[in-house]
Chain A
């Protein structure tokens, strides 16, 4: 092994590297933690491949499908909930199969670091009859990607590549390889394979059952599923990140490490089970492997002692299997520190106005979801991407237009383009009268500032046409489209009051870039203790740069203040003063 070629890589970087080495030519994705960085690393290979941000995961998957059908290797990347958005093309592509290898990378989030649910992608993939590979560190992530493309073409199946937050955001050593020169497969028109109308799909269903059986049979001998035979007292079947915890806790145990978690290698599993005294199945989230293995009559212990929630750990397995008392000190009882809107965030200003007007907010997915928590406490609902507008419409249809006069929908620019557009179309079409606020901060914020169709720049860094969001709204028939600066409190308050009162759809666009986007020198404010009346007005929006001194007067942390000036506007006593001009 050549030491010089070993580099440290984030799981997501290793996935991108694996795709590059596998000869991928097209990749499409919508950002979503913990999958986002795959595309951000992939773009460094743009001389050899094409990659893009698509407006949503369904579109991204279809882009990859098109490339696969005409014979090139293609992939798409998303988080677990994005796979739901992509379910429609994914289920049908399962019937079609592939021409060029096709891999759908899906990142799960056990422990909900950055998600609205904890669903298990292996369940979704099983329902779609899609095979699934799952790596357990960065090195495997790269190698498994290459295997995924080879297997995809060999068995004519799109492959799901499942990762989790821990894998995606852990770094480990990876040995670099060369990019494989992959010839495109010829495209030959064959509508029995690529036009999914009933007569064809019926035959394809039979075909893919056969293909999956062949794959399940092959899985018994594929090196991606590995038996590590040791002491036979304890045997463990595991995969992914939990494999690493098992190696920490039970270095002497026998382990069947599955790299392919769907379909399962039945013979290999039954053979392994027959050789060990006590068999455990250790898998995070749902008992996907366990339920199948138990259905074959194999005796095993799994979710009886392991949770279906959150992440696992070596300590947890140590306690559950070995019954060890770990003698860990008790954690101190300390205040929680939840994520918050950044100092200078334009969402804070908008939410302050909505809070002042005592409005309810049908919310959406993004940084602005954080408006649900104190002190802003203004967001009522968060369901999924795009749901703010459509659910507000549902409320109106249930209770009438007067009922929603103290409600607005709040959605970000990237989320609006993801699936909010359809919802707004529906509101106009079906005689809605709701008020929609597009909190346009010119980026996809929460995932770390990715471009989208309205930023004027592509993933590959090229300038492009920026979708005109106000014009798009007008084109759909919205007569009231108003643009306001998020920090112009007076105008914003006036506009919101006027628009919610109307019996027509209104779209208010608060266009102010995310404070983290600009590298310009920031202005700075200070609070004068002698002028401060301790009224607490400036503290209402919950800016993290502001604290109270022991005497209750206000103090602004100069390492955190970004000079947005919201506090100055709220102070009636002139106690807050601009002391340093910025460049913006």
Chain B
């Protein structure tokens, strides 16, 4: 198969690195060649961060380029808008409907864009969830990214058992159950 291109975008500190570990583990479980590219260092301090995951028979470059993403997973609305042009025409955009103000907005130098989801829906297949609120209901707001991944799973090539296995092998032992619960919430919640 041609390489499948996944992107995870968000705000530094939102757990994009954990997510990329999970996706890397899945690709290996699926027997694929895989490359990932992630951001460490300064940008992780609350900046806009992006992780690329590519898997398939043979993967050369480790990045996903503009117009090439099959799935774009956004942990925050504004970041979804920032990277939407990376999607292929029929690519799936999965958005955590959550707002984190960037510093220029915090200090009033500029406005946070309105109606982001509506704007995105004009050109893309968009799946939204307020994963941050949903994860609070589960008792741990930090597992929101597994809810988002649960939705993304519907657009990828792995079985639910493979996801479970990799989650078990990746997250801290004490949080395995709540992370699997979070994944389930997303997996069963598909609203375009």
Interface residues of B in 79-126 (CB under 8 A from A): 79, 81-82, 84-85, 87, 100-107, 109-113, 119, 123
Also in contact, A171 and B40, with CB within 8 A (given A313-B65, A315-B66, A542-B106): no
Stretch touching chain A among B42-50, B147-155, B157-165, B178-186: B42-50
9 extra A-B contacts, CB within 8 A, seeds A7-B28, A137-B35: A113-B43, A170-B63, A171-B24, A332-B85, A335-B105, A337-B82, A339-B47, A539-B107, A544-B106
Q: Are B61 and A114 in contact (CB under 8 A)?
A: no
Q: Are A342 and B46 in contact (CB under 8 A)?
A: yes
- Indicate if B11 sits at the interface (CB-CB under 8 A): yes
Contact with A along B56-87 (1 / 0, CB 8 A): 00011111011100000000001101101101
Q: Which residues of A contact B84 (CB under 8 A)?
A: 329, 332
Stretch touching chain B among A144-152, A370-378, A502-510, A575-583: A370-378
Q: Which residues of A contact B111 (CB under 8 A)?
A: 335
Q: Which residues of A contact B28 (CB under 8 A)?
A: 6-8, 173
Q: Are A173 and B60 in contact (CB under 8 A)?
A: no
Q: Are B43 and A339 in contact (CB under 8 A)?
A: yes
Q: Are B65 and A314 in contact (CB under 8 A)?
A: yes
How many of A's residues come within 8 Å of B, CB to CB? 57
**Residue from A7, A8, A33, A543 within 8 A of B40 (CB atoms):** A33
A375–B109 CA distance with the chains assembled, in angstroms: 10
Q: Which residues of A contact B38 (CB under 8 A)?
A: 169-171
**Residue from B13, B107, B123 within 8 A of A375 (CB atoms):** B107
A207 to B: closest C-beta gap in Å: 40
A570 to B: closest C-beta gap in Å: 15
Q: Which residues of B contact A6 (CB under 8 A)?
A: 28
For the A-B complex, the count of residue pairs with Cβ-Cβ distances under 8 Å equals 174
A314–B20 CA distance with the chains assembled, in angstroms: 22
**Residue from B41, B106, B113, B119 within 8 A of A113 (CB atoms):** B41
- Indicate if B19 sits at the interface (CB-CB under 8 A): no
B135 to A: closest C-beta gap in Å: 9
Stretch touching chain B among A183-191, A241-249, A522-530: A241-249
Q: Which residue numbers of A lie inside 8 Å of B, CB to CB?
A: 6-8, 33-34, 36-37, 113-114, 137, 166, 169-173, 241, 244-245, 247-248, 313-315, 326-332, 334-342, 367, 370, 373-375, 446-448, 539, 542-544, 546-547, 557, 559-560
Q: Which residues of A contact B66 (CB under 8 A)?
A: 315, 326, 328-329
- Indicate if B132 sits at the interface (CB-CB under 8 A): yes
Q: Which residues of A contact B81 (CB under 8 A)?
A: 332, 334
A272–B24 CA distance with the chains assembled, in angstroms: 37
Q: Are B45 and A339 in contact (CB under 8 A)?
A: yes
Q: Are B33 and A340 in contact (CB under 8 A)?
A: no
Q: Are B102 and A335 in contact (CB under 8 A)?
A: yes
A344–B34 CA distance with the chains assembled, in angstroms: 37
Contact with A along B15-54 (1 / 0, CB 8 A): 0000010001101100001111111111111111000000
Q: Which residues of A contact B103 (CB under 8 A)?
A: 337-338, 340, 373-375, 542, 544
A-B contacts, 13 of them at CB < 8 A, read: A113-B43, A137-B62, A171-B36, A241-B61, A314-B65, A326-B67, A332-B84, A332-B85, A335-B105, A337-B47, A340-B46, A374-B104, A559-B141
A113–B49 CA distance with the chains assembled, in angstroms: 11
Also in contact, A559 and B47, with CB within 8 A (given A542-B107, A546-B106): no
A330–B132 CA distance with the chains assembled, in angstroms: 29
**Residue from A169, A340, A547 within 8 A of B45 (CB atoms):** A340
Q: Are A244 and B46 in contact (CB under 8 A)?
A: no
A446–B84 CA distance with the chains assembled, in angstroms: 29
Max chain A CB contacts within 10 Å: which of B12, B41, B48, B85?
B41
Q: Are B41 and A446 in contact (CB under 8 A)?
A: yes
A329–B45 CA distance with the chains assembled, in angstroms: 29
A326 to B: closest C-beta gap in Å: 6
A487 to B: closest C-beta gap in Å: 19
B191 to A: closest C-beta gap in Å: 23
Q: Are B105 and A339 in contact (CB under 8 A)?
A: no
B107 — nearest CB in chain A belongs to which residue? A375
Q: Are A170 and B62 in contact (CB under 8 A)?
A: yes
B44 to A: closest C-beta gap in Å: 7
Max chain A CB contacts within 10 Å: which of B106, B109, B111?
B106
Q: Are B78 and A173 in contact (CB under 8 A)?
A: no
Q: Are B40 and A34 in contact (CB under 8 A)?
A: yes
A469–B132 CA distance with the chains assembled, in angstroms: 42
B120 to A: closest C-beta gap in Å: 9
Q: Which residues of A contact B12 (CB under 8 A)?
A: 339
Q: Which residues of A contact B110 (CB under 8 A)?
A: 335
Q: Which residues of B contact A36 (CB under 8 A)?
A: 40-41
A113–B20 CA distance with the chains assembled, in angstroms: 19
